[in-house]
């Protein structure tokens, strides 16, 4: 560090003097030198503040709360697997088939919420979850021909591989989501801190998975091989979606997250009718009706004994 800092100082000093001389001798309006001094001080101060805050934050996240950090390794591992499996599933199945099958996560989430968070759901709420799953499935079937039609590159696609990947993703979505919810709601730490801890493991485990599955190819062709603006768009969307899930789980829960996404599927189909002239068919109306009915049913006040581990005896 001693030699590196000296070398950097030599280069920085020389370039500073030359660049000052250059900008001060350019033709045209001259900037105020005193404002440049102010700006440099401000930038220095702000950088140090950010670095200090960030260092403190990381120290707290990784070292002080190491027990919690380790706990987050579990959902992080499951989510990393899920995020990779989703690419496998979507690459092997038509989009509509993937979407329909992936809705099974509504049911796995409910089962894990009952088992791990000891949530109790009434009979009516279980029925509403089944209706929600059926409704979204009907809407999705209507949007695309499930399993049918050959898409470009269909020859390299394996239906069986895609199906296994999506079913494991559903189990993972329920388990990881509820695990994260349990950790988040079991302490007062902020959702941001928890996501930093999740992200640290996610990055490390993701790199491990990359090395194991495609290490040689990535080494030969480069990490960013084939990246286009669209690929960057997918990545940004996925990252934004993940943060959104974290916030929704903080203020609501994983089951309600399922309702929100189901409603958004219906809403986006309705929007595409207006925007792209999509025609409304009776199956869509049926599916949408089931989803809306399920939302209503789930929100009804509980009556009768709940179904779940915390069953209270009826009076």
Binding site for ligand C5P (CB under 6 A): 79, 83, 105, 173, 177, 180, 195, 198, 241-242, 245-246
Residue 14: phi, psi to the nearest 5? -65, -45
* Closer residue to ligand C5P in complex, CB, 71/105: 105
Q: Of 110, 126, 120, whose CA–CA distance to 312 is shortest?
A: 120
Length of the chain: 315
Smallest separation, CB 83 to ligand C5P (Å) = 5
Smallest separation, CB 18 to ligand C5P (Å) = 46
* Closer residue to ligand C5P in complex, CB, 140/173: 173
**Number of residue whose CB is nearest ligand C5P:** 242
Strand partners, 121: 307
Contact indicator for 284, 142 with CB cutoff of 8 Å: yes
Smallest separation, CB 195 to ligand C5P (Å) = 5
DSSP 82-123: HHHHHHHHHHHS-HHHHHHHHTTHHHHHHHHHHHHH---B-H
* Closer residue to ligand C5P in complex, CB, 83/91: 83
User: Would you tell me how many other CB atoms lie within 10 Å of the CB of residue 265?
Assistant: 19
Smallest separation, CB 126 to ligand C5P (Å) = 20
Sign of the C-alpha dihedral, residues 252, 257, 261, 267?
negative
Smallest separation, CB 121 to ligand C5P (Å) = 19
* Closer residue to ligand C5P in complex, CB, 255/306: 255
Smallest separation, CB 287 to ligand C5P (Å) = 20
Three-class SS of 122-187? CHHHHHHHHHHHHHHHHHHHHHCCCCCCCCCCHHHCCHHHHHHHHHHHHHHHHHHHHHHHHHHHCC
* Closer residue to ligand C5P in complex, CB, 186/241: 241
Smallest separation, CB 198 to ligand C5P (Å) = 5
* Closer residue to ligand C5P in complex, CB, 114/170: 170
* Closer residue to ligand C5P in complex, CB, 242/293: 242
Q: Of 200, 183, 202, 178, whose CA–CA distance to 254 is shortest?
A: 178
Smallest separation, CB 115 to ligand C5P (Å) = 17
**Hey, is 220 helix, strand or coil?**
helix
Token digits of residue 233:
């768009």
CA dist 215 and 123 (Å) reads: 49
Q: Mark 105-141 as b/e (b = at least 16 C-beta within 10 Å).
A: bbbbbbbbbbeebebbbbebbbebbebbbbbbbbbbb
* Closer residue to ligand C5P in complex, CB, 58/235: 235
* Closer residue to ligand C5P in complex, CB, 188/314: 188
Smallest separation, CB 61 to ligand C5P (Å) = 14
């Amino acid at each position: 560090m001693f030699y590196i800092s000296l070398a950097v100082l030599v280069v920085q000093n020389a370039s500073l003097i030359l660049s000052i001389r250059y900008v001060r001798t350019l033709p045209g309006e001259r900037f105020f030198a005193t404002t440049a001094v102010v700006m440099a001080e401000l930038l220095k101060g702000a950088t140090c503040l950010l670095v200090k805050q960030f260092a403190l934050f990381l120290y707290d996240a990784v070292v002080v709360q190491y027990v919690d950090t380790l706990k987050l390794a579990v959902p992080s591992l499951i989510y990393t697997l899920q995020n990779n499996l989703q690419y496998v599933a979507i690459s092997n199945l038509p989009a509509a088939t993937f979407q329909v099958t992936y809705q099974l996560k509504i049911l796995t989430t409910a089962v894990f919420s009952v088992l791990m968070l000891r949530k109790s759901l009434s009979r009516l709420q279980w029925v509403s979850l089944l209706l929600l799953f059926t409704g979204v499935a009907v809407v999705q079937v209507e949007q695309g021909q499930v399993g049918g039609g050959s898409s470009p590159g269909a020859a390299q696609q394996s239906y069986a591989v895609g199906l296994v990947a999506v079913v494991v993703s559903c189990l993972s979505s329920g388990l990881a989501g509820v695990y994260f919810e349990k950790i988040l709601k079991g302490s007062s730490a902020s959702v941001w801190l928890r996501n930093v801890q999740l992200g640290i493991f996610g990055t490390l485990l993701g790199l491990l998975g990359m090395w194991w599955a495609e290490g040689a190819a990535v080494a030969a062709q480069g990490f960013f091989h084939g990246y286009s603006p669209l690929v960057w768009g997918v990545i940004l969307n996925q990252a934004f979606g993940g943060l959104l899930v974290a916030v929704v789980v903080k203020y609501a829960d994983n089951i309600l997250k399922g309702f929100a996404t189901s409603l958004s599927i219906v809403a986006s189909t309705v929007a595409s009718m207006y925007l792209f002239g999509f025609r409304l068919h009776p199956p869509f109306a049926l599916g949408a009706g089931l989803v809306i009915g399920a939302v209503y049913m789930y929100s009804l006040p509980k009556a009768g004994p709940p179904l779940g581990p915390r069953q209270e005896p009826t009076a």
